[in-house]
Structure 1
């Protein structure tokens, strides 16, 4: 959805914008005081009410822009009819400095193009924000917007259908669809997980994701526009925005600002509801379709729909639908900008001690919301920027570096420099410049100590599997698992029966051969005297049948699986074995001889140096014992790189995090080189771990976070520099 509120807001008498205002000379003020400004015809004034308090709004109906103003500014705007001079307006202004404050208000109105006529005296004192704003928009590499069409006529033609969708019956239909989705997902949880690992992460399937996302985004924006029409508003702008260089459709939903709060909530939620509905249809289609392209596309719709809703659109920390839902739900307009202003107020009032600092928290209960949202949204914005930089750098290294430089300079350094310069003037006016210097120096020293002096825990993470022994218990013949004769973890003697298989077909074949053997024996006995040739043929047939029967009896005997040696039995998932069909050669269990148990852990090249140089603690968790941590130590660290996994459970096709080649049916060929570390495991882990995945934590010597970050950046650069 497009911006619901304009970024250029008039809050109180202070224009929140990025332009410089110089003081008016006496002659300029005299010229301005004699003017009789009036608002343009398309400007509409009205009030929203939040928690019983009025919030005046200025609407530019032609451009669908909306501005919040203070009650004092609202009373002034009501008198901008072309008959009242600026001098008379200043006489009734309630502020401490009527000339300066009223001038700033008029400058904001002039800059927003809300005043009719020309005002040279204002233009002379205004460094154009519009030109700088245009440059800032074009210099923003993450979000560009290109208006294309007016979709209102098309939305109007669709309104008879959309009004039925966005009705009480449509709402309960959506609820029923979500309930069905939960039931289908619960009944196919294993299949969903298997499809995720085996098909969704396939490079060929990932190529469809951008197309699926764009189509779903088109329906998402259509839902916003249709909901606006449902409540009598107009949607006059639609186009394409480029988010991280990806073209996506958008609609300008600014008309929602003039609607009541309950209707604004539905408009903000329309896109989320549409995406969830599409995801639900995708899940049901996936469950009904056979294996193929349709099932893959349906699964893509499922993942994209729920991921886009939960991670982005419904996330209130980003200025998408969830943000506007939260702002209207808690009745705090302009939540993001006021949260930033409140954090700035706390810094100025309590950090710098400025008595002139004004809190934007005007209603009871605003303070915790503004402080909490400002901190959470700022931290989340940093995480998202880091993710975007990493995402771009993995594909186009220099694009990632340019975005990183833009974020560092444009999002942090320049705003910090502007803020400090502005606060210097305020501190100088109140004779608190030394406090500013002290606070800044103290903060810089504290950050330096935290980043480069104070040691913090330093760890690396990896995955591995238990190194399987040679004594494997495997099936010598196919059959169904009939009985488990020994419990998992029990000590067994060499040759002891462990598992009994059952193969009815082999038994029937053996019985048939026994009957045939008896028949040939009788025929031979009857033919010995009168028909010696027939007796000789029967004897030869008996030899063939006897050989076949011996082979079948050997296979039947092999249906009893025995321990290849004495030791402790490792029989994973024993409760799932009875009734399972196994093929010849399938490994069902292992027998450990009681000696040292070892694990094979895969380490990437970036962590190899830190692990090889460290003799710290190694902690291991088993997937079957997630609540228990075991101590281990490194027995061998091979310098030879490998591209074959020791077990498929470590690869992405088997549920691990290591990407594997989709063309490898065994799921063992990796897409990059890895190194193997062998760990000695404690005896307490012997029974339940084979062949499940191990989660390993290598604890290194404590280091300051700045040093750790530098090493991570250096490793990241070495890992991706060959992609530029």
Structure 2
């Protein structure tokens, strides 16, 4: 069987770099392919030299042919196939080219993280649907331990049967690895369709993300002008300012509380709308703090969007690219939003102290102070997936903390082996039940409030219909489960 007998789209050109080197002879600039262990060498044309530079085990014949046609438009449509046949004749390739089980896309790159795991990063994933921008770039990350990384490396070099037979890996596990890679758009020739719109389920009432647009170009325009914000001098001045304001605020805590009570007594519900708008302003600036900090460290920020937290509107920024950064830089990316909120609160406190008592400026600065502190308290909660959670993840180095905590308890109660290292088990043991209780409390509170509203505001006939529908649903579930 020769290369010409195979399907060019499935025939992966092998990696020759360990055994053959491409060189250029000094005296006549002739391109050569030289063996690393024997005197064997063959002369090449410039087109053949360019094509062989793509023999890295990642591209098939069709892909290399396309690359060659872009650089040399006049080459033959079967140029790469003929080159492979020549390599067969010269004994450089075997009579058959082993087809690996998977082929990653060229843009999918492996990153070894100092924390001991591997990242597979694809900055050109299947685009997302956005509310303002129709297609938003999708940055895709997958996390693998050393065992899974080595498995995928083997699958990139050998057929499935070879890996199963020689390395004793379970076939089902290898197929699951390929399904994950295919579903996330990591494999060459496989592009999952872009999701349009979004589906709503009850849990999303707690945390619903709606993508809006790609802010990366905007961030790139201004990041150089703001680079002074991340200097040591700026950090020192900010720390001094925040510390002094914290001392002033603590000494004025009773006065601040009294002012709030007097404002509510005077203005009551008319303060709610301005407070909401100021909270949104704080959150937007907070998200820009995350985005610009990640951009400062060389990351990509592909998405900004609308966030509904327990039906309260806010904003979010996709900072997934921070996972490839060292831990201290990830902590800065997460902590940037917290620092922004503290800074806004400190500025608002300063204005409140110097503004004319009872003026619009003093009232606005007070509301801004409370809005910044309120949103900060929400963000610091590590039991929900806000900044406090991601800060704890970066601090402990435990990726997917919530799901791993639940898996830890599942394995513990079912008698399965505990996969987690000893030094992380105590964190998972504490975090697991706390996060579950928090979720039940919040979701139960929302359901109770909704039911109370329906019971008070809907007429009795609607309550009867709702009760009949609930009874029908329960009986249908019981009937279906007994079948």
TM-score w.r.t. length of structure 2: 0.65
Where is the strand percentage greater, Structure 1 or Structure 2?
A: 1
Structure 1 residues 42 and 381: CA distance shift in structure 2, 3 A: same
**Corresponding position: 1:60 with 2:134:** no
Alignment of 1:377-526 (within 5 A): 377-389=435-447
1:475-529 Cα deviation digits (max 9, x unpaired): xxxxxxxxxxxxxxxxxxxxxxxxxxxxxxxxxxxxxxxxxxxxxxxxxxxxxxx
Residue in structure 1 matching 2:429, options 371, 387, 398: 371
Distance in structure 2 (CA, Å) of the matches to 1:319 and 1:267:
15
Residue in structure 1 matching 2:113, options 27, 31, 48: 48
Task: For residue 91 of structure 1, report the CA deviation from its aligned partner.
Answer: 2.7
Q: What residue number does 1:360 align with?
A: 419
TM-score w.r.t. length of structure 1: 0.45
Structure 1 residues 90 and 322: CA distance shift in structure 2, 3 A: same
Structure 1 residues 138 and 388: CA distance shift in structure 2, 3 A: closer
- CA RMSD in angstroms comes to 3.4
Aligned to 1:165, the other structure's residue is in SS state: helix
Aligned to 1:376, the other structure's residue is in SS state: helix
Alignment of 1:77-88 (within 5 A): 77-81=152-156, 84-88=158-162
Structure 1 residues 190 and 171: CA distance shift in structure 2, 3 A: same
Q: What residue number does 1:480 align with?
A: none
Residue in structure 1 matching 2:220, options 139, 156, 180: 156
Aligned to 2:114, the other structure's residue is in SS state: strand
**Corresponding position: 1:90 with 2:164:** yes
Q: What residue number does 2:260 align with?
A: 196
- Could you say which structure has the greater relative contact order, defined with CA pairs below 8 angstroms and 6 or more residues apart? 1
Q: What residue number does 2:187 align with?
A: 115
**Corresponding position: 1:213 with 2:288:** no
Aligned to 1:207, the other structure's residue is in SS state: helix
Task: For residue 221 of structure 1, report the CA deviation from its aligned partner.
Answer: 0.5
Task: For residue 138 of structure 1, report the CA deviation from its aligned partner.
Answer: 9.0
Alignment of 1:98-137 (within 5 A): 98-117=170-189, 135=199
Aligned to 1:146, the other structure's residue is in SS state: strand
Contact 2:209/2:306 (8 A) holds in 1: yes
Distance in structure 2 (CA, Å) of the matches to 1:111 and 1:134:
18
1:241-262 Cα deviation digits (max 9, x unpaired): 2333333222111111111111
Aligned to 1:61, the other structure's residue is in SS state: strand
Contact 1:317/1:380 (8 A) holds in 2: yes
1:6-55 Cα deviation digits (max 9, x unpaired): xxxxxxxxxxxxxxxxxxxxxxxxxxx976320122211122233xxx21
Structure 1 residues 112 and 233: CA distance shift in structure 2, 3 A: same
Contact 1:44/1:61 (8 A) holds in 2: no
Distance in structure 2 (CA, Å) of the matches to 1:282 and 1:72:
52
Contact 1:138/1:144 (8 A) holds in 2: no
For structure 2, the residue ranges without an aligned partner over 5 or more in a row are: 1-97, 125-137, 459-465
Q: What residue number does 1:704 align with?
A: none
Alignment of 1:17-36 (within 5 A): 36=101
Structure 1 residues 152 and 399: CA distance shift in structure 2, 3 A: farther
Where is the helix percentage greater, Structure 1 or Structure 2?
A: 2
Aligned to 1:135, the other structure's residue is in SS state: coil
**Corresponding position: 1:261 with 2:327:** yes
For structure 1, the residue ranges without an aligned partner over 5 or more in a row are: 1-32, 120-127, 350-356, 422-724
Contact 1:200/1:206 (8 A) holds in 2: no
Residue in structure 2 matching 1:76, options 146, 151, 163: 151
Distance in structure 1 (CA, Å) of the matches to 2:274 and 2:152:
53
- Count of paired positions: 350
Query: Which range moves more in the overlay, 144-153 or 331-340?
Result: 144-153
